[in-house]
A and B are shown apart, each in its own frame.
Chain A
Amino acid sequence: MRRKQFIYYIPYALWLVLFVLAPVALILYQSFFDINGQATLQNYATYFQSGTYLKMTLNSLWYAFLITLITLLISYPTAYWLHQTKHKQLWLLLIILPTWINLLLKAYAFIGIFSQNGAINHFLGWFGIGPQQILFTNFSFLVVATYIEIPFMILPIFNSLEELNPSLVNASRDLGASNWQTFTKVIVPLTMSGVKAGVQAIFIPSLSLFMLTRLIGGNRVITLGTAIEEHFLTTMNWGMGSTIGVVLIVAMGLIMALTGEKKTKKKVTLK
């Protein structure tokens, strides 16, 4: 019996070793070599002593924070509304649908919408306030990044709302809580797991966005992803690229640890 269970574990173990552990180990290994193939710790020293990289790290964190915050502010009410409506599946499908379209195509569509002769500037033109420079601004970058990430925030929140036992909400109302109190004291705490999952699914990839920073941001927003791309493709300085990769992996680990599910359940004290 035990042996059988071991067999089931093999595909997962293979996957884990080949596509998770091995690449991470390779990145870690590469990060200890300089551009000429000499073993060194210099890459890390360069990273933490260079104003450019630190500023880039700050940029990455700040924009990832903004993207996550905006997405959350839009997604929670949306998920809540979705949970309440009839035809949930239809509305949900409409939210998931854009994720089936390739990211690059969506980026190009936004270029068309935001450009000098694009839809928005035509619209502004009717009021005599166009054309404005929309493309290559922080604003356009945030809009597109948020747009792309939203489904990944809505889904986990929606799922956790669905799992929420409605009798708890009814009980709260029966016991005299107002709508607002029910929402803040019962619904939000009980759906926190969905919010955490959403935050993880968005903050972490946002840290290393790079294609959008060029296409939509015109390289006005430079994140660590841009630097990694450059080190691997142009400079061929894999060591430095890997070092930035390691920093990102550590950052992601920290975020997982901070937002992750705590194993110890809170004790409920009854008075």
Chain B
Amino acid sequence: MNKLSRIAVAILVACLALWLGIVQLQKSQGFTKDNTLTLYNWGDYIDPALIKKFETKTGYHVSVETFDSNEAMYTKIKQGGTAYDLAVPSDYMIEKMRKAKMLKPIDHSKLTGYQNLGQSFLNQPFDPDNRYSLPYFWGTLGIIYNDQLTSQPITSWSDLWQPQYKGDIMVVDSARDMMAVGLIETGQSVNSTNPAALEKAKQRLDQMAPNVKAVVADEIKMYMVQNEASVAVTWSGEAAEMLANNSHLHYVVPTEGSNLWFDNLVIPKTAKHEKAAYAFLNFMLEPKNAAQNADYIGYSTPNTAAKKLLPAATRNNPAFYPSNQLIQKLQVYSDLSPTTVGLYNDLFLEFKMQH
């Protein structure tokens, strides 16, 4: 008993010492609750060097918390446990949060560098006139393939149905994205709410089932880099990371068109440090910073001034900056009613049972 309580006391003392150390460290760096900006971001979605730079430049301390799905972020902000000053939801989620009155309007007169943003990324249907959000990164849904394991380059969605890829394709475990593939293949809008059209799209997907090796999530990155499969359906941002690690991989935006997605910065209603939030927005609008971030993350930047600063090989890569002609064919997801989202998911679950 004596020994046990001595161990317990030792652990408690260690905890206390560590806690005091942290408090002391934060104090010595001049961080208090009042000058802390809380950023709610996707994991590994900002260059840490930029955060350091922002902190030294403005004196604000940045605390970054991360989420791994729009829905998880939505729930957490709605519950309001932590006061986030900035968050990075995707397109349809911005629409949903806007409708749920969870966002503060952005005062454009406080912004510097708004004109750096490309016109084609502003005034999207999910947020007309960008009253509530500023584009952070954008990208597409597409196909990544390994030129060593496939006989010819893949260019379109319909290639995925070719019998030569039997048991060789990995697809993302995301109902909305995979249903979008089926909908595009059957000539429908990716925001279709018509049950008959959705059923048809699912039947088309079912025909692809023999080619599907696995329905996986983040692990696609690892598998493709390790040559586990020859073809995968994924997002452009994830693809950028894979391309960096395996030179035989190629990413294409299918010719039939695809989904265009946005991750935008928003200020939740619960934000407590608005001044710091605007300082951060303006900091990220600066072309140099946006370019550095895009270079680090590998996603496509909506900041046209920043794009000019990127290496020519990145800037002119049609996989990540598609031609205007192709951009015309891309569709943005809109927020669907819960019943329709349920239908998408039920159909996708049926597809998963098929393969």
Contact = CB atoms under 8 A, between A and B. Distances in A.
**Real binding pair:** yes
Interface of A: 35-36, 52, 55-56, 111, 115-117, 133, 135-136, 214-215, 218-220, 222, 226-227, 230-231, 233-237, 240
B345 to A, nearest CB: 4
Contacts of B213: 133, 136, 218
Contact of A214 (B69, B216, B339, B346): B216
A226 B175 CA distance: 13
A236 B219 CA distance: 24
B228 interface: yes
B338 A237 contact: yes
Contact of A116 (B227, B339, B346): B227
Contact of B352 (A133, A219, A240): A219
B173 A117 contact: no
Given A219-B214, A237-B342, A214 B353 contact: no
Contacts, number: 79
Contact of B217 (A56, A214, A237): A214
Contact of B71 (A111, A215, A219, A234): A234
A231 B175 CA distance: 11
28 contacts: A36-B339, A55-B353, A56-B353, A115-B228, A117-B226, A133-B167, A136-B213, A215-B216, A218-B170, A218-B214, A218-B215, A219-B173, A219-B216, A219-B355, A220-B355, A222-B349, A222-B353, A230-B349, A231-B345, A233-B69, A234-B341, A234-B345, A235-B338, A235-B341, A235-B345, A236-B71, A237-B341, A237-B342
A55 B353 CA distance: 9
A233 B71 contact: yes
A216 to B, nearest CB: 10
A115 B217 contact: no
B350 interface: yes
Contacts of A233: 69, 71-72
A36 B349 contact: no
Contacts of B338: 35-36, 235-237
Contacts of A231: 345
Contacts of B227: 116-117
A186 B342 CA distance: 55
Given A135-B228, A136-B214, 5 more contacts: A135-B214, A218-B216, A219-B216, A234-B345, A237-B338
B142 to A, nearest CB: 21
A111 B341 CA distance: 32
A222 B227 CA distance: 25
A52 B350 contact: yes
Contacts of B345: 230-231, 234-235, 237
